[in-house]
Amino acid sequence: MRERLKARIAAKTARIVIVGMGYVGLPLALRFAENGFPVVGLDVDPEKIARLGGGRSYIGHIPDARIQAARAAGFEPSTDHALAREADAVILCVPTPLTRHREPDLSYIDGTLESLLPHLRPGQLLSLESTTYPGTTEEHLRPKLEGRGFRVGEDFFLVYSPEREDPGNTEFEARAIPKVCSGCTPACLELGAALYGEVVDRVVPVSSPRAAEMTKLLENIHRAVNIGLVNEMKVVADRMGIDIHEVIQAAATKPFGFTPYYPGPGLGGHCIPIDPFYLTWKAREYGIHTRFIELAGEVNSSMPGFVVSKVTAALNEREQAVRGSRVLVLGLAYKKNVDDVRESPSVVIMEKLRDLGAEVAYHDPHVPVFPRMRDHHFDLASVALTPASLASYDCVIVATAHDCFDYAMILEHARLIVDTRGVYRDRAAHVVRA
């Protein structure tokens, strides 16, 4: 079975089924389709599938033309999990959020696997790409497969290969990003490396799924901790009257031993604010309290509150209360030039201001209407950004520094700007750094 599957991968006749057509699964499906593989993209959201079936993208940085080219090459979007029976490789790209108690929520993985299990058969490869705690693949997925009679490493092959998507980043093509890959057995690793080796330039094999799972967490925790550090430095520098962006630029001239990270209004996206807590939860099983990681999480989580405090102070200096003030938030997405609002600090800032009695609006051309979110709701659409509209707000918050914003116009017509991204470096009486 191993040799047959390996031969089908090499010939690009292996049928690939990717479950989860989100920010990770859809680009991966397109990548395989563009490299000549027959690909099925599964998702439980019929609206997404309908859009893809019609050659239309629902992710801002993925153009319709790319979907249409993939469709012409044989990419098949569907909601029918029974199509997994025809697959040679099944790749899971489903969310792994946190519960309200900041514990891992594997319900999407479990629900997906339960839907797939009746259709899986010997000779297939199953790869998990979702970020999760060390042990998930071998302790959680493998027993479920073996409970159905599969012999992992002999007649069924189980792989963990964490995603490395960075939505909106145009500096790195998907092929050029090395792919960490692991398998539950040497045969699993061999096939996983062969599969991903067809669509990326370099596969990085590691000894076990636990090592690969920890690798992904280290990547994201490294970023979360360093952002937490620079966010705390920002608060200290602000109290001392020092421009933290000037400090970072000066420190970055050191040719060794320093990597610049930049402060902001908090962390967003599906990885950085969430993934560190997967490790803190698992570490408790071993009697370890990950104080350093949790402290960084606390600092980053406090940043929306810091921004609101700066808004409050700035309005007070102008003898105006937050209650009844009109506040415009620029940028709803969690990072610039994307339409992803998951865990966006902009939303938290808006909620805090609303709770204080402010009338809140937002402008974000990447997010025309406030989307459905699990824990947040605003009945809002993106407002027009004109000189007149800017002048009508008591405060404008630069929360996400999209390239499409006309920052000169904003500076000229806004009465008060609270800048959380370091856009306005030159001193201006109506600009407050946050």
Overall residue count recorded for the chain in this entry: 434
> Do 185 and 78 lie in a common domain?
yes
Neighbouring C-beta atoms of residue 30, cutoff 10 Å: 22
Q: DSSP for 189-230? A: HHHHHHHHHTTSS-EEE-S-HHHHHHHHHHHHHHHHHHHHHH
Higher pLDDT, 374 or 44: 44
366, 337 contact by CB (below 8 A): yes
Residues 14 and 154 in one domain: yes
Mean pLDDT of the 117-138 span: 97
Domain annotation covers residue 154: yes
Averaged pLDDT for residues 19-25: 95
Nearest to 210 by CA among 294, 281, 139: 139
Least confident range from 24-28, 144-148, 172-176, 225-229: namely: 172-176
Furthest-apart CA atoms within the chain: distance in Å: 76
- Rounding to the nearest 10 degrees, give the CA dihedral for residues 98, 31, 45, 113: -60
Q: Are residues 322 and 359 in the same domain?
A: yes
Is 277 part of a structural domain of the chain?
Answer: yes
Residue 419 domain-assigned? yes
**How much of the chain exceeds pLDDT 90, in percent?**
90
pLDDT at 273: 85
C-alpha span between 223 and 64 (Å, rounded): 32
Q: Which residues are known to be catalytic?
A: 271
CA 355/CA 348 separation, integer angstroms: 11
> Do 241 and 389 reside in the same domain of the chain?
no
What SS3 class is residue 348? helix
Report strand pairing: 395-398 vs 417-419. Answer: parallel
- Cβ proximity of 156 and 122 under 8 Å: yes
- How far is Cα 67 from Cα 291, in angstroms, rounded to an integer? 44
Q: How distant is the alpha carbon of residue 258 from its chain centre?
A: 25
User: What pLDDT, in 10s, does the model give residues 301-312?
Assistant: 999 999 999 999
Q: Do 247 and 131 lie in a common domain? A: no
User: Domain boundary at 270, 299, 328, which?
Assistant: 299
What's the domain count of the chain? 3
Q: Hey, is 396 helix, strand or coil?
A: strand
Domain carrying residue 147: 2-207
Does 57 lie in the same domain as 177?
yes
The answer on 289 and 333 residing in a single domain is no
User: Does any domain span residue 212?
Assistant: no
32 and 77 assigned to the same domain: yes
Least trusted range by pLDDT, from 166-170, 324-328, 340-344: 166-170
Are both 171 and 228 inside the same structural domain? no
Domain of 264: which CATH number? 1.10.1040.10
Nearest to 422 by CA among 409, 408, 432: 432
- 423 and 311 in one domain? yes
CA distances from 83 to 80, 88, 328 (A): 6, 11, 47
Residue 52 shares a structural domain with residue 180: yes
Minimum mean pLDDT range among 119-128, 193-202, 345-354, 374-383: 374-383
Q: How far apart are CA 296 and CA 217, in angstroms?
A: 14
pLDDT of 54 reads 95
Which pLDDT score, from 0 to 100, does residue 100 have?
A: 81
* Dist CA 316 CA 32 (whole Å): 56
pLDDT at 246: 96
Whether the Cβ atoms of residue 18 and residue 28 lie closer than 8 Å to each other: yes
Answer whether residue 408 is part of any domain. Answer: yes
Q: Domain ends where: 152, 185, 207?
A: 207
| Nearest CA among 431, 430, 407 for reference residue 419 | 431
pLDDT at 169: 76
Helices (H) and strands (E) in the chain — how many of each?
15, 13
- 337: in domain: yes
Instruction: Give yes or no for a contact between 396 and 417, defined as CB atoms under 8 angstroms apart.
Output: yes
Q: What's 65's domain CATH number?
A: 3.40.50.720
Cα-Cα-Cα-Cα dihedral sign, residues 360, 361, 366, 371:
positive
Cα–Cα–Cα angle for 223, 224, 225, nearest 5°?
95
Q: Decide which of 239, 266, 299 is a domain's last residue.
A: 299
Is residue 193 domain-shared with residue 122, that is, in the same domain?
A: yes
Q: What is the pLDDT of residue 271?
A: 80
Q: Check: CB of residue 407 under 8 Å from CB of residue 337.
A: no
